[in-house]
Amino acid sequence: MAATIFSIANQKGGVGKTTTAINLSASLARKGIPTLLIDLDPQGNTTSGLGLQKEKGGSLCDVLHGEADAVDRIKATGQENLSIIPAEVDLAAIEVELSQKGDYLMRLRQCLAPIKKSDKFRAIILDCPPALGLISMNSLVCADKLIITLQCEYLALEGLSQIMSVVDDLRSHGLNPSLEIGGILMTMFDIRTNLSRQVCADLQKHFPELAFKTVIPRSVRLSEAPSFGQSIFDYDRMSSGAKAYDRLGDEVIERFNLHA
């Protein structure tokens, strides 16, 4: 069975993309779902957030140039059922270099096709840079499902229409007609504020089928975990953040039929 590719994207930074990529991947792996996490951000925060070193030549950079195979970039994370393709700073040059190639929006899709078709993984999760540049656009052309992370504030809701418009454009131009918005995840929820509750209520009202039931709380433990190179489950599995991402893993498995 082919893997399902999830792109975790938003044009805005600081909305929980990397935190979600790491901890959703870890949650799925803990539940027996063979998962590949791919770091597409030149900053490499997903890579370091799982305790891996950023090694020269370890990213998808030369793969996207057609000079290597993506399967050779896969590394173990030390957690059962979870592998990663790391990132490093060489990906920063890809934005310029890809634009000079005729199939610049299809490169990632072509590179990951053999991995997707193999039986090794059930889920492939792409962590994108905080901008809708060529790397993020490649991830959307490659993906089956887009998961949008939104911070619990009104300005985040205003930006939602932009990325949804991009999805419509990719479909209408035939670049990825099957791309679906798999879900919208509210992050950094603060139960003490009326704003957080109101934003979540508005999202549920306007996008009842897209909004995940799980809401990720604002949590110091979630912020601390990457500095120790650990998912929230390894860092503090009893924390509110771990419990939330555990529920999100269950919800993603059910919504997208990822049962092992």
Residue 139: inside a domain = yes
Q: What is the CATH number of the domain that holds 127?
A: 3.40.50.300
Query: Residue 26 belongs to what domain range?
Result: 4-254
Number of structural domains in the chain:
1
Closest CA to 50 of 235, 246, 221, 229: 229
Residue 260: inside a domain = no
Instruction: Please answer whether residues 133 and 108 qualify as being in contact, where contact means their C-beta atoms are separated by less than 8 angstroms.
Output: no
- Scored b (16 or more CB within 10 A) or e, 13-47 reads eebbbbbbbbbbbbbbbbbebbbbbbbbbbbbbbb
Per-residue pLDDT of the chain (260 residues; tens, 9 = 90+): 789 999 998 877 677 899 999 999 999 999 999 999 999 999 999 999 999 988 888 899 999 988 899 999 999 999 999 999 999 888 888 877 877 777 889 999 999 999 999 989 999 999 998 888 899 999 999 999 999 998 877 666 677 888 899 999 999 999 999 999 999 999 987 767 777 788 788 888 888 999 999 999 999 999 999 999 999 999 999 999 999 999 999 999 999 999 86
Query: What is the C-alpha to C-alpha distance for residues 8 and 185, in angstroms, rounded to an integer?
Result: 10
